Amino acid sequence: MENIVELKNIAAAYDGNTVLHDVNFTIRKDDFIGIIGPNGGGKTTLLKVILGLLKPVAGEIIYHGSKHSLFGYLPQNSRFDARFPINVREVVLSGLLSEKGIFGKYTREDKNKADELLATYGMGDFRERPIGELSGGQMQRVFLCRAIISSPRVLILDEPSTYVDAKFEQEFYSLLHDLNQRMSIVMVSHDLGTICSYVKTIACVNRTLHYHDSNLITPEQLQLYNCPIELLTHGTVPHRVLLKHEPKA
Amino acid sequence: MFELLNYTFFQNALIGTLLIGISCGLIGTYIVAKRMVFISGGITHASFGGLGLAYFLGFSPLWGATVFALVAAFCISYLANNKRFREDSLIGIFWSAGMALGVLFIYLTPGYAPNLLSYLFGNILTVTGGQLIASALLCGMIILFFSRFYRPLFYLAFDKDYYRIHFIPIAPIEWGITALIALTIVLCMKLAGIILVISYLTMPQAIAGMFYKNFTRQLWCSTLISCIGSIIGLFASVPLNTPSGVTIVLVFLTVFIACYIYKIVKTRSTRQK
């Protein structure tokens, strides 16, 4: 399968404190990778390194093909000013900045595309609203539209379930499933149930990265990598996951 | 009152006020939307250091102010971006250091500093031909910059971190707007003085913000308020025999309070319905 992004022996640090070391990781075409790991294990740091927001202290990242419209990104918490004078449609259109560059013109088709996306994600009636007037879940949907309007080759989601309510969750993940036909997806999630039902492969991140070429998680793996400890003790770990952990043949 | 228009000095003042009004209306909308009011205050006060230095060395004080404003603007945004310092602390440092240097140089300059008050509170009636040309050039550059880079500017102001991932060169846009902010501040000092520059960059925008939640409309509305308010203030200052910069600020303030009361009354009456 075609490689899109390759991380080789990556180490990342904040102010000299190493958060990740010896990370080798490849994002390929059609991938749907779930990233799990304990809090503070470096999941978000890994995403930042992939996105080019944090320069690694060691190792190499290779981006294959054009960097334009390479990534769509749904941050866990968007740090923006809720009173900024921008409406929902403009937020979605801003996702085209990568494609258009700083000189680009925005056409009527772009506007229509933004409106169509918003309608698909149940936000059609909100397109003229200031972004700050929306609820957390609604904002998340708008930011998802912003992330995908440029048809990126890789969609990166940081804890998308944080704001998605139970009613929308099912729909949200089936939309992701559809998107996966067109783009690779990398998703950080605490929600083990979600990971197992939707992703194709799993990566455990705890200071370094362990890649599992399937969506089955065994207790041995979890213990070995000291992975999502909080998930094992979490009351809502779905039954189904625990049923799948027969010893490997 | 309109016989004033026959005087060249007043014609110049009127043109200057209008050009600065447009520049401040546009740049101020960006500053307010991006919550850079405090940074602008820091740049303004830092430029006083350059003003004093130029005065001490015998150059045109506004050139000194321009250099210091540009240096302060780029230093604050560069150092704050690097996250090595906290932005508000940096602003405080530049703000007070600029003022200290300015006062020091003026103190060191032999003789009396007659124009000092005009730099603190501005005096558009003494605007020179060169300053008018500079204002016209700046105004043209701002209009060009905003019309050419409207969307990148707008989107980067909204959520800069997001667009870093797209590997598009956002730095030129940031440098461009930083330079334009610094230059606008310096030219506005001629009209408003160091102490009042901030009001020209925030009050029309605050008024526009009460009525519009859309960036484009805020741009138009604050530019209009900025121009009309400045001209009313300039005309009013002559019969009142008050400094023009101060009078303009008080016009803005009156409009602000009137609009605020109007908004409260309107909200109450719609609630009662």
Convert the pLDDT of each residue in B253-269 to its tens digit: 999 999 999 999 998 88
* CB contact A151 to B (< 8 Å): no
Q: What are the pLDDT digits (tens) for A101-154? A: 778 888 999 999 999 999 988 899 999 999 989 888 888 889 999 999 999 999
Correct CATH for B2-196 of 1.10.3470.10, 3.40.50.300, 3.40.640.10, 1.10.10.10? 1.10.3470.10
Give the residue-averaged pLDDT of B202-210. 95
Look at residue A99 and tell me if it is in a domain. Answer: yes
Look at residue A92 and tell me if it is in a domain. Answer: yes
* CB contact B144 to A (< 8 Å): no
**What is each CA distance from A25 to A74, A211, B233, in whole angstroms?**
20, 8, 64
Please report how many Cα atoms fall inside a 13 Å half-sphere around the Cα of residue B73, on the Cβ side.
Answer: 25
Residues of A in contact with B171 (CB under 8 A): none
* CB contact A67 to B (< 8 Å): yes
Structural domain count of chain A: 1
What residues have CB less than 8 Å from A15, skipping those under 6 apart?
none
Look at residue A174 and tell me if it is in a domain. Answer: no
Check CB contact under 8 Å for A84 and B33.
Answer: yes
Per-residue pLDDT at A203: 86
> pLDDT tier at A245 (50, 70, 90 boundaries)?
very low
- Which domain covers residue A132, as residue numbers? 80-152
Nearest to A102 among B34, B161, B173 (CB): B173
Per-residue pLDDT at A108: 93
Look at residue A218 and tell me if it is in a domain. Answer: no
User: Beta strands A3-14 and A58-63: pairing type?
Assistant: antiparallel
Give the residue-averaged pLDDT of B182-196. 91
Nearest to A80 among B152, B154, B159 (CB): B159
What residues have CB less than 8 Å from B188, skipping those under 6 apart?
B20, B23, B24, B197, B200, B201
> pLDDT tier at B87 (50, 70, 90 boundaries)?
confident
Check CB contact under 8 Å for A97 and B151.
Answer: yes
> pLDDT tier at A237 (50, 70, 90 boundaries)?
very low
Q: Where are the domains of chain B?
A: 2-196
Asked whether B226 and B24 are in contact (CB, 8 A), the reply is yes
Per-residue pLDDT at A192: 67
**Which range, A95-109, B44-58, B162-176, is most confident?**
B44-58
Give the residue-averaged pLDDT of A74-101. 86
Look at residue A102 and tell me if it is in a domain. Answer: yes
Record the tokens describing residue B207, joined without a space.
């008024």
Look at residue A108 and tell me if it is in a domain. Answer: yes
Check CB contact under 8 Å for A85 and B162.
Answer: no
| Chain center to CA of B74 | 16
Asked whether A78 and A159 are in contact (CB, 8 A), the reply is no
> pLDDT tier at B170 (50, 70, 90 boundaries)?
confident
